[in-house]
A and B are shown apart, each in its own frame.
Chain A
């Protein structure tokens, strides 16, 4: 079964840090570009960051550039998001997303992990 399981969310004070993880199973992880998408309570979807299958290319939304770092360990089938200098507006559900292409179509979604900055 294709699965993405996020972890690492929680309550953190403004200015603090948090590291999210996403464990992938059921597909060849290294062949998929990966991304993080967030959703504030009652709001829409916002793309946050993306990374190529090899990890050689990374992409960030302007709202998180310089504060968040995306990475992956293909030997562990795991995606990460290091979040520093957190702000109240970063409060959201963070979804891990897999894409068989080049981050055009977001094939696979996890169930999300909740980050609260307060």
Chain B
């Protein structure tokens, strides 16, 4: 199975400051069709997850442009340019290239 490793586990951030979450996979996430199925999800307290980013860097409709995704191969990053109070929650990366589908362990973002 592809192991997804996120860091840090916890990320206290000052409002208005940037935040960055790393996600590394145990093998390349480049699919045979050339796509890289690395996705990012946000789970706010008490809510179900929602997708923010798909295929490394494509932002979902309604997601603020302060969220951005980047990376390639086995190394990926989610960045929040200026953290707002509504960004508090747990962020998960997920790979959809290899079976079984696997998630990272999550990064908890909260406000200092």
Contacts and interface: CB of A to CB of B under 8 A. Distances in A.
Interface of A: 35, 37, 44-47, 50, 59, 61-62, 95, 103-107, 109-112
Contacts of B55: 105
Contacts, number: 54
Interface residues of B, number: 24
Contact of B96 (A61, A103, A110): A103
Contact of A105 (B50, B51, B100, B103): B51
Interface of B: 31, 35, 37, 39, 41, 48-51, 54-55, 60, 92, 94, 96-97, 99-106
Contact of B48 (A50, A59, A62, A95): A95
A59 B51 CA distance: 21
B37 A105 contact: yes
B60 to A, nearest CB: 8
